[in-house]
Amino acid sequence: MGIQGSFRSAHKWPGTWVVQVLQRWRKTVGAVIGAAIRDSDRKQIQVAKALGMSENVLSEIVQGHRKTELGEIVLIAKAINEDPLVLIRRMLSWHSSKDR
């Protein structure tokens, strides 16, 4: 058994806490993006079209069911005329407040 084999047997990877953190992060990202879209003057379908993605993909992001890359967050923010840094700060603030 190589190093990776012994590492995997000694540690569950990803651990359940990692999975829980990632799930919570996706929910946070989705909730903040959903709120920002609702606060904008655009509908979710309009934002999806502006981004060149299906409404289903954007819906999965908003529901927290899809991994969202940083670049996608920036593009979504720009599509709703939001400062990407403000949106990301909201995500970080909301996520860290849920840890308490």
Under 8 Å between Cβ of 29 and 73: yes
pTM summary value = 0.79
**Domains along the chain?**
13-98 (1.10.260.40)
Could you give the count of Cα atoms lying within 13 Å of 62 in the half-sphere of its Cβ? 19
pLDDT over 80 (residue 1): no
Measured CA to CA, the distance from residue 93 to residue 63 in angstroms comes to 19
Average pLDDT over every residue of 79-98: 90
User: Stretch 44-68: mean pLDDT, rounded?
Assistant: 96
Q: Residue 85: which of 36, 24, 31 has the closest Cα?
A: 36
Q: Which residue has the tokens 């308490």?
A: 100
